[in-house]
Amino acid sequence: MSAFASPAAFDAALADLAMPDAAAAAAARARQDDLTKPPGSLGRLEDIAVFMAGWQGRERPGITRGRTAIFAGNHGFMVHGVSAFPTSVTAGMVANFAAGGAAINALAGVAGLELMVVPLDLDRPTADFTCAPAMTEAECLAALNAGAAVVTPDLDILTLGEMGIGNTTAAAALCARSLGGGAAEWAGPGTGLDAAGVARKVAVIARALAFHADAPHTPFETLRRLGGREIAAMAGAVLRARALRIPVVLDGFITCAALAPLAVVAPGIVDHCLAGHCSAEPGHVRLLARLGLVPLLNLGMRLGEGSGAAVAVGVIRAALAAHDQMATFAQAGVASGVAAGAEGQA
């Protein structure tokens, strides 16, 4: 059965977000404070362990089964010359993923993640969003459900990524409509546009925003009109992961932009998500701030295909290893801070 049978089912899922296991998170925090280190000295690694404990519902979370899901889609507005690369690269890279030659193949391997690639009607680009909704209702629901379908209950963590030449244009449009600020605030060079190319991209996004201005500003309609199949799929995956309390690692600008329309009505949609990294695409730093996310890494990456999220899993694994393997003060026979404080006052 499909997770999202109708736009109303999507709205209902968004209105009823699962919450983390507060008792497991509290137990993990207490354990952190009992481990052989000054409290707080592992910084965000401590917070990551507590976050994972809450969503996995156990004091000592782990990653036995992790999956990176990469969704691919093509875009009708590419006729306006908004990318440094041609649409054919999307299918070319999907073949490269299958052959094992892409960055994500190497990075998912080193992160211990299984790679699942989901091409979405690549030979049928979305409609040109400057003069029509990108997707019909049925197409948008199919993409949301394709996203939900990658999320199985056995997963300890899900990382997301995308491949879609032109999709920084769709992402910028989603941000502008959802968060305001206009096309120029959210459009950047993507795969490598020059200044004239970025100006052309801003104009295309502005036309799309104007065309759809009077349409309902619901998350579903915004995704359907200005998004793309790979973008809607990522939104569907995040929503399904939430229902199953599976923690999610987001990737770059496009991955996060998929959540912008949802965050307008449900800011807590990112509560089970970690921002893997901050992309060099200029809109990403602004978007992360608006979503209330602090990225784990900032490596100047702007590749997409889930690459930043996969690298961040190494940090998450480090956090969980320390949380699980360190001795407590009692186990190690090391005096805790309370005793030292008492000594200082003696």
Ligand X SMILES: Cc1cc2nc[nH]c2cc1C
Ligand Y SMILES: O=C(O)c1ccc[n+]([C@@H]2O[C@H](COP(=O)([O-])O)[C@@H](O)[C@H]2O)c1
When the beta carbons of 169 and 222 are compared against ligand Y, the nearer one is 169
Measured from the CB of residue 303, what is the shortest distance to ligand X in angstroms?
A: 5
- DSSP string across 26-70: HHHHHHHHHBSS-TTTTTHHHHHHHHHHHHHTSSS---SSEEEEE
> Which of ligand X, ligand Y, none does 251 bind, CB closer than 5 to 8 A by kind?
ligand Y
Residue 211 is a binding residue for ligand X (CB under 6 A):
no
Residue 190 is a binding residue for ligand X (CB under 6 A):
no
Measured from the CB of residue 40, what is the shortest distance to ligand X in angstroms?
A: 37
When the beta carbons of 250 and 269 are compared against ligand X, the nearer one is 250
In the block, which residue shows the tokens 């190690």? 332
Residue 59 is a binding residue for ligand X (CB under 6 A):
no
Q: Which of residues 286-315 bind ligand Y (CB under 6 A)?
A: 302-305
Residue 163 is a binding residue for ligand Y (CB under 6 A):
yes
Sequence-distant (6+) residues with CB within 8 A of 73 are: 90, 119, 120, 121, 122, 125, 126, 143, 162, 164, 167, 228, 229, 230, 231, 233
In contact, 226 and 31? CB cutoff 8 Å: no
Query: Catalytic positions, please?
Result: 305
Residue 119 is a binding residue for ligand Y (CB under 6 A):
no
**Torsion angles phi and psi, residue 114, rounded to 5:** -80, 145
Among 54, 227, 252, 295, binds ligand Y (CB under 6 A): 252
Pull the structure tokens for residue 62. Answer: 């782990």
Which value, in Å, is the radius of gyration of the alpha carbons in the chain? 21
> Which of ligand X, ligand Y, none does 302 bind, CB closer than 5 to 8 A by kind?
ligand Y
For ligand Y, the binding residues (CB under 6 A) are 83-85, 162-169, 190-191, 251-254, 279, 281, 284, 302-305
